[in-house]
């Protein structure tokens, strides 16, 4: 049994609860870190410089109220949503793999690859990502819990939870703190020092997209931290072993087991191509959605000075002006894992994702009322804006000319 405190039951009352788990490596909690009780940072970001300490504190109280309202309302309908979605995802995966077993027929290959691609996207985006954030821990279901879920992504869940939940969500878009700014590969901010290596920005990004899960797996090893002496050799070896075990499991499932069974019908090679294609499609989609979350035009980055002395209200402000949404249909929101509501997700990463559409208009109204940018747009616009930034920052900065 794992004791998780400060969770809410379905009535919204804060209570300590015992969450049964199949294994308890330690509860992964979303936390903004140690925040100041009052005051403000040494220097507020330019986009929020017009706000007083009192205004930021009031903004924080308004957003806290939105969160409390959702905590009070979540219940049976939310639980039914995630359980239904898991059933649909597993049905898609089973159907897709079954079709690939007879994929020597072109129609079966197209059907199987399409269904498996959809299954992998749903598992990563709307299910795995959100379960690993602890959004469904309140259900007390050991099968849908942040400490037991292992997703269909080559990087181990625990490694991703550390770099994503603990680091990225704490230091969102803080240059020098949030390594998600470029994933230690791309130059994604003018404040990052330019080197000739950055000329390859567009090429690196194009190569990264179809193998994105492997890029994230390498990133989650924190090789830069190891090189700088911030991570021990023992910790790195432990993470390498965990990655090796997970990679073997993924390889066996996708590139050995399914093609091997398909060989019985003469479809082995085409089944292999189908699983390769499904993983590539999932990686391309995940890459596009995730890069649209913080890099389009209109999103801010921050210096360490801007977070020194940060209050909870200031942390909220940083999440809003450092994130970007994607507009679109309900189906599009589902397939993005509701990361199309990236702003709402960064404000409330542990609230059920199916509630983000409900609170988005309230968050947008608060942004407008306090004079803060609420960045959103269709996916084609956000992807284009992100690629434009990638290309622009590949070039050396222009030097100020003396006149």
For range 128-155, the mean pLDDT? 97
For residue 364, pLDDT over 60 is answered with yes
Over residues 367-398, the pLDDT tens digits come to 999 999 999 999 999 999 999 999 999 999 98
Contact (CB, 8 A) for 92 and 119? yes
Distance, CA of 327 to CA of 341 (rounded, Å): 8
For range 216-228, the mean pLDDT? 95
For residue 150, pLDDT over 70 is answered with yes
Q: Is residue 363 part of a domain?
A: yes
Q: Report the 10 Å Cβ neighbour count for 83.
A: 15
Q: Is residue 238 part of a domain?
A: yes
pTM: 0.88
Q: How many structural domains comprise the chain?
A: 1
Q: Return contacts of 161-164, CB within 8 angstroms, 24+ apart.
A: 161/28, 161/132, 162/220, 163/219, 163/220, 163/222, 164/132
Q: Is residue 86 part of a domain?
A: yes
What is the domain extent for residue 228? 2-183+195-392
What mean pLDDT value characterizes the chain?
90
Q: Is residue 223 part of a domain?
A: yes
For range 206-213, the mean pLDDT? 97
Q: Is residue 123 part of a domain?
A: yes
DSSP 156-176: -HHHHIIIIIIIITTSTTBTT
- pLDDT score of 33: 54
Q: Is residue 400 part of a domain?
A: no
Instruction: Identify the sign of the CA torsion 344, 222, 22, 115.
Output: positive
In sequence order, which residues have a C-beta less than 8 Å from that of residue 388 and are 6 or more positions away?
297
Q: Is residue 188 part of a domain?
A: no
Distance, CA of 68 to CA of 12 (rounded, Å): 8
Over residues 89-104, the pLDDT tens digits come to 999 999 999 999 999 9
Over residues 260-273, the pLDDT tens digits come to 999 999 999 999 99
Q: Is residue 398 part of a domain?
A: no
């Amino acid at each position: 049994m794992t004791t998780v405190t400060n969770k809410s039951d379905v009535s919204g009352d804060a209570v300590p609860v015992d969450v049964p788990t199949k294994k308890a490596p330690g509860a992964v909690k979303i936390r903004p870190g140690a925040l100041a009780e009052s005051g403000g940072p040494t220097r507020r970001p330019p986009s929020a410089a017009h706000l007083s300490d009192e205004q930021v504190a009031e903004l924080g109280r308004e957003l806290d109220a939105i969160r409390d309202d959702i905590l009070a309302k979540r219940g049976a309908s939310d639980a039914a949503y995630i359980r239904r979605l898991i059933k649909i995802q597993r049905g898609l995966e089973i159907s897709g793999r079954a079709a690939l077993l007879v994929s020597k027929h072109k129609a079966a290959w197209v059907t199987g690859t399409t269904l498996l691609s959809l299954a992998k996207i749903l598992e990563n985006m709307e299910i795995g990502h959100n379960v690993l954030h602890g959004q469904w821990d309140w259900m007390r279901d050991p099968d849908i819990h942040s400490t037991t879920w292992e997703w269909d992504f080559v990087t181990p869940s625990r490694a991703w939870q550390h770099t994503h939940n603990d680091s990225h969500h704490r230091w969102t878009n803080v240059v020098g703190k949030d390594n998600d700014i470029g994933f230690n590969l791309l130059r994604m901010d003018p404040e990052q020092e330019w080197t000739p290596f950055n000329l390859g920005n567009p090429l690196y990004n194009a190569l990264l997209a179809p193998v994105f899960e492997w890029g994230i797996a390498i990133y989650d090893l924190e090789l830069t931290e190891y090189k700088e002496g911030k991570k021990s050799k023992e910790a790195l070896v432990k993470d390498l072993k965990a990655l090796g075990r997970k990679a073997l499991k993924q390889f066996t499932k996708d590139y050995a087991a399914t093609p091997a069974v398909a060989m019985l019908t003469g479809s082995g090679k085409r089944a292999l191509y189908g699983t390769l294609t499904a993983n590539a499609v999932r990686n391309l989609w995940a890459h596009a959605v995730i890069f649209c979350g913080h890099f389009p035009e209109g999103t801010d980055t921050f210096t360490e000075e801007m977070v020194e002395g940060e209050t909870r209200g200031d942390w909220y402000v940083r999440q809003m002006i450092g994130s970007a949404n994607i507009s679109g249909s309900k189906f599009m929101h589902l397939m993005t894992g509701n990361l199309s509501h990236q702003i709402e997700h960064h404000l409330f990463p542990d609230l059920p994702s199916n509630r983000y559409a409900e609170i988005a208009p309230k968050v947008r109204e608060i942004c407008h009322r306090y004079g803060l940018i609420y960045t959103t747009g269709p996916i084609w616009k956000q992807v284009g804006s992100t690629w434009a930034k990638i290309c622009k920052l590949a070039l050396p900065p222009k030097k100020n000319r003396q006149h």
